[in-house]
Structure 1
Amino acid sequence: MDRTRIPSLNWLRVFEAAARTESFARAAAELNMSPPAVSQQVKALESHLGMALFTRQPHAVRLTEAGRAYLPSVQMSLVSLETSTAGLFGRAREERLYVQAVHIFAQGVLAPLFTDFTARHPDIALHITTGNAVEDFTHAFSDLKIIFGAPSAFGRAHDQLMGEMLYPVATPEIAARIKTPADLLAHPLLEVATHRAGWPHVFESLKLLGAGARVVMVDSTVMAAALAGHGAGIALARAPASDPIMRAQGLVPCLPGVAVPGLEYYHLVYPDPGTLRRPARAFRSWLMERVSALEPVSGGMS
């Protein structure tokens, strides 16, 4: 068998849907197929390539290293074919748009606004994936990326979206015990390892030495909020992106009126404005409009 021959387009469509949803059942529902048919198509592609693309689990599938490496090329090829078809033969009934965002922005900003975008642009199928580490964004295909921090490593062009305001939050029971900044030190402080601005930055602004602070390191603000919601300590809200997450965990400000500006910003990143597809241009314009109304708050959740 010639493994360099281009696989069946249907195999590739099925592979892309299964990889994106991490489920043969969800891919089947999306493609109007049966789960056994999806499994059969994936097996045919794997047989053609001579390599497993997924590891099968009872209720999900996970990409192998080969599958993870193959996915961006498949997605890019499908998008290119879709765009060319729409351009030559009339706009497709629905165009796909792939957006990758840091988890807190996806959950705290994009999720609440998702239906607004789809209502305004019913002809665009918006697919959002999330990441947290640098490598999550460097090895995945997307039309647009929303990152936090230095944007130059992810694309040639970028738009600054918004900054953040930091303030301590905890369960109402713990927050009631915090009367002064020094009272923060009596509790575990949940610190996000990937952020430049954290508790030391807050301590400096509050003119608090922070000696003897008990710091618990986590990898995301979402995880810090989950732990704080269970009474494990005090987290830092990062408004406005974290507002829905903090509310969902029942967290309240510990020192109302106390907030510290962050050091970095969220950016929308892309290769070049001139190469953006129509759906990406529409999303960019919509997002810039919507985030302009999301101003960081000072020590309280809007």
Structure 2
Amino acid sequence: MKGLPPLIWLQAFEAAARTMSFTAAGQELSVSQAAISQRIRLLEDRLGQKLFVRHPRSLSLTPAGQAWLPSVLEAFARLAEGTAEVFGPSPNAPVTLRTTPVMQQNWVAPRLLAFHRAHPKVAVRLVSAIWPEDFGPEGADLEIRYGSGDWTGMEALSLGDEAMVPICSPDVAARLEVPGDIAGETLLHAAGFAVGWPAWLERAGIAGIENDCPTLICDTQVMTLTLAAAGGGIALTHRWMVESRDDLVQPFALSVPSAERFWLVRPSNRQPREAAEALWTWLAKGL
């Protein structure tokens, strides 16, 4: 871009400002300390201001250097993100899978163990996300998202229809014979889901009974399941989440369908790496 200093000068400044050492910056960029010093001097001449104060055994940034550094760091970070978004990470980097904690524990974990036994040389990195804005193509090869599946620039494979059911500990279930017995019980809510307790209670013919129930609201389903297993109330969750647990039971067969569901997702604008393709195929084959 017209007016910008050469990239190698900017790299020298970023590395030296981050490490506060011309020697360390040279080692990082595989050049000599003298080369870093020369590039910094040329950069300062171009800008017309000093960026570093050279002390006998150390460095410090001048006010101008301190003011400029955040912009340079942001520019390099955005360049790295854009490169990964379009071209993907390096071939030998771990395959990054991003999803919610509850999906990691209840759906991903058993499948990932089986994948690891079949592909022991493929390194997988799990990243937790809670809110919709935590997701995005940057930094992840694959994702498991919850929603309607209409994300721009993403290939999405449905993990199946969803139905929400009440679950609780066996002790709590023992005192629930009909849906009306929920009155007075603590209802555990997981924020962010389109289908919640009002929809289930209406389907059960007891709409409004939540007004007679204490409430606990959590930002993850992991916490609602933990509280429910401890006898702290009744959670509304996905039916498949209780199938492999012996500390939670479904007191009523009634379920309420949800238009939202979980999706296996990956960017559609880049060629997946071989290792990422192997994990995608493995997770998809059991659907």
Q: Take 2:158 and 2:147, find their aligned partners in 1: how far apart are those partners?
A: 10
What letter corresponds to residue 239 of structure 2 in structure 1? A
The aligned residue for residue 295 of structure 1 is none
Deviation of 1:165 (Å): 2.6
Query: What is the correspondence of 1:1-302 to structure 2 with a 5 Å cutoff?
Result: 2-5=9-12, 70=77, 73=80, 76=84, 82-83=90-91, 96-138=94-136, 140-153=138-151, 155-211=153-209, 212-214=211-213, 215-241=215-241, 243-244=243-244, 247=246, 250-255=247-252, 257-272=253-268, 275-290=271-286, 292=287
The DSSP-based 3-state class of the residue aligned with 2:224 is helix
CA distance in 1, matches of 2:185, 2:26: 57
- 1:114 corresponds to which letter in structure 2? L
Give the C-alpha shift of residue 213 in structure 1. Answer: 3.9
> Residues of 2 paired with 1:223 and 1:149: CA distance?
20
Structure 2 CA distance for partners of 1:189 and 1:141, relative to 1, 3 Å: same
Using the aligned pairs only, state the percent identity.
25
Q: Distance in 2 between matches of 1:163 and 1:10?
A: 54
**Kept in 2: contact 1:96–1:126 (CA 8 A):** yes
- The Cα of 1:122 is off from its aligned counterpart by 2.3
Residue 138 of structure 1 deviates from its aligned partner by 3.3
For structure 1, the residue ranges without an aligned partner over 5 or more in a row are 13-46, 52-65, 84-93, 293-302
Alpha-carbon distance in 1 for matches of 2:94, 2:172? 46
Aligned residue pair count? 226
Amino acid at match of 1:252: V
Residues 144, 270 of structure 1: 8 Å contact kept: yes
Q: 1:10 to 1:188 in 2, by over 3 A?
A: farther
Contact 1:165 1:261 in 2 (8 A): yes
Report the TM-score when normalising by structure 2: 0.67
Moved more, 196-205 or 145-154: 145-154
Q: Check conservation: 1:164, 1:241, Cα contact below 8 A.
A: no
- Larger Rg belongs to: 2
Quote how far apart the aligned CAs of 1:267 are. Answer: 0.9
Asked if structure 2 preserves the Cα contact closer than 8 Å seen for 1:169 and 1:234, the reply is: yes
Q: 2 CA distance for matches of 1:113 and 1:232?
A: 30
- 1:209 Cα deviation (Å)? 1.3
SS of match in other structure, 1:275: coil
- Per-residue CA deviation, residues 250-276 of structure 1 (Å, 9 max, x unaligned), is 222222x33333331111122217622
Structure 1 length normalisation: TM-score? 0.64
Structure 2 counterpart of 1:238, one-letter code = H
* 1:76 partner letter: A
Please give the alpha-carbon distance, in whole angstroms, between the structure 1 residues aligned to 2:141 and 2:171.
44
Q: Secondary structure at the match of 1:4?
A: helix
Q: Structure 1 CA distance, aligned partners of 2:160 and 2:196?
A: 18
